[in-house]
Amino acid sequence: MGKITHVVKRNGAIVEFNPQRISNAIYRAAVSVGGRDKETADKLGKQVEEVIEQTFDDGYKLHIEEIQDIVEKVLIENGHAKVAKEYILYRDEQIKKRTLNASQGTRPKENIPWSKIWHILDWSVSNNLHSIPSLNEKIDHNEFADIVRISEKLYDHDLDQSAKLITDKANSLKMVMITGPSSSGKTTTTYRMEERLKSKGMSFVPLVVDHYFFDLELHPKDEFGDYDFETPQALDLDLINEHLHLLSEGKEVKIPFYDFKEGKRYPNHTKMQLKEGQILLIDSLHALYPKFSEGIDTTLTFKVYLEPLIQMKGPENQYIQWTDLRLIRRMLRDSVQRAYNPQQTLEHWHYVRSSELRHIIPYSNNADYIISSGMPYEIALYRPMLIDKFAEWVKLYRNNPLRLDAFTRAERVFKMLDAVRGVEDNSAVPTNSVLREFIGGSVYKY
């Protein structure tokens, strides 16, 4: 054990010094610029640790900013300027975000689809679904089925509008991309969009982007052993872009195959080529990320962005956060489809949120159409499913500085679920609803 045993976090919390976090942070920065050398990251991390031990006295409580200063210095001195730049940029982004949060951020954010939100807010007010108390009142009056019906109708309208825009562009189109952050409902939307477009005579070939993951051993992970699959750099973006170019030109490619049980990618596995009139259909988190379709003429693409843009006020007169809806959705989906404990999903969510704030949401306004997959009724279904779990997690994480993110989210979601009237009978929800992707009972296979 070195002489430095504890670190002071930015919020003042004191945690145990874990040198592995340093090499993990260096490796994550390296991955962001295309590097995949864990051995070098570990060596650099060890150098940082040595500098810390030589610089500070026994028992000194090291501040996280002091560690980051040393990391930057070691990276630059060892000739890793690109990695250092990425590390510095990320650090600067975090400082700006904290400053903005502290000032309550009065300036409107450019990456929020304000026009779409205004439309949904107007709809919510018109239907008296703009607050949890108004939702509860309707549930108390046995109007749950009506809420489901009008909510699904709004989503259907978005699907119809985007399908029309796609068919208007059909003659030049080579690929349709359905994108959005985790658990926004991309898979169901892709199925339902394909149904609409096929009825209009269009022919599609699906491209499964998950096959382009790098081998598991090349993914960054944290001190808890949790791998980060959320970053776009988890995918072989260069190969994806190369294949999209070739496919748009009518050429044949060989798609890799990713074995999730082995955590290994096998190259040149499946032949693919677009025939005359066929269009590539892509469901991906990162379809709006610049490197994904870099250099492809925008006349060849149509990009649909998804987010549950629900406009409803909950406890303390605060609007329900879309990320909380998606967190719950992913908990439910992963527990059934991936045998993933909901608590693991909560503990992993900081990766999800960090990546989407950097790599997904900033590009949302580059989409050709935005669909809201949010259903005002969904929180009523979630209460009986998860409220007890969230109550447990609030207690579990309350005094754990290493799980501050999990505690903050658990406490906020618990308050939301505690305020809503729970509904256990989901029979009113259509079997092709985007919600079925998460609560089960869908006509589609996931």
Pair (93, 129) in one structural domain: no
Cα–Cα distance for residue pair 248/403, rounded to 1 Å = 45
Among 117-121, 229-233, 262-266, 276-280, the least confident range: 229-233
Structural domain contains residue 240 = yes
Number of separate domains in the chain: 2
Over residues 317-352, the pLDDT tens digits come to 999 999 999 999 999 998 876 667 899 999 989 888
pTM for the model stands at: 0.80
Q: How much of the chain exceeds pLDDT 90, in percent?
A: 61
pLDDT for position 141: 97
Cα–Cα distance for residue pair 372/311, rounded to 1 Å = 11
Pair (138, 161) in one structural domain: yes
Structural domain contains residue 327 = yes
Pair (247, 174) in one structural domain: yes
**Domain end: 56, 73, 102, which one?**
102
Among 165-174, 226-235, 357-366, 429-438, the least confident range: 226-235
pLDDT for position 147: 98
Pair (63, 182) in one structural domain: no
Among 18-22, 294-298, 437-441, the least confident range: 18-22
Residue 306: CATH number of its domain: 3.40.50.300
Annotate 67-127 with DSSP letters as a single string.
HHHHHHHHHHHTT-HHHHHHHHHHHHHHHHHHHHHHTT--SPPTTS-HHHHHHHHHHHHHT
Q: Are 369 and 157 in contact (CB under 8 A)?
A: no
Structural domain contains residue 60 = yes
250 has a pLDDT exceeding 70: yes
Pair (119, 94) in one structural domain: no
Structural domain contains residue 444 = no
pLDDT for position 95: 60
**Domain end: 43, 74, 102, which one?**
102
Pair (83, 125) in one structural domain: no
Pair (83, 135) in one structural domain: no
Structural domain contains residue 391 = yes
Pair (93, 128) in one structural domain: no
301 has a pLDDT exceeding 90: yes
Pair (79, 11) in one structural domain: yes
Mean of pLDDT over the chain: 88
Structural domain contains residue 146 = yes
Closest Cα partner for 27 from 10, 11, 48, 6?
48
103 has a pLDDT exceeding 50: no
Pair (57, 195) in one structural domain: no
**Domain end: 50, 73, 102, which one?**
102
Pair (128, 78) in one structural domain: no
Structural domain contains residue 91 = yes
Rounded mean pLDDT, 248-275: 94
Structural domain contains residue 446 = no
**Alpha-carbon distances, residue 93 vs 74, 76, 87, 154, 205 (angstroms):** 21, 20, 10, 36, 39
pLDDT for position 160: 96
Among 113-127, 219-233, 251-265, the least confident range: 219-233
Annotate 348-394 with DSSP letters as a single string.
HHHHHHHHHHHHTGGGGGGSSEEEE---TTHHHHHHHHHHHHHHHHH
State which residues form the domain around 75.
Answer: 6-102
Annotate 379-434 with DSSP letters as a single string.
HHHHHHHHHHHHHHHHHHHTT-GGGHHHHHHHHHHHHHHHHSPP----TTS-TTST
pLDDT for position 106: 46
Pair (261, 399) in one structural domain: yes
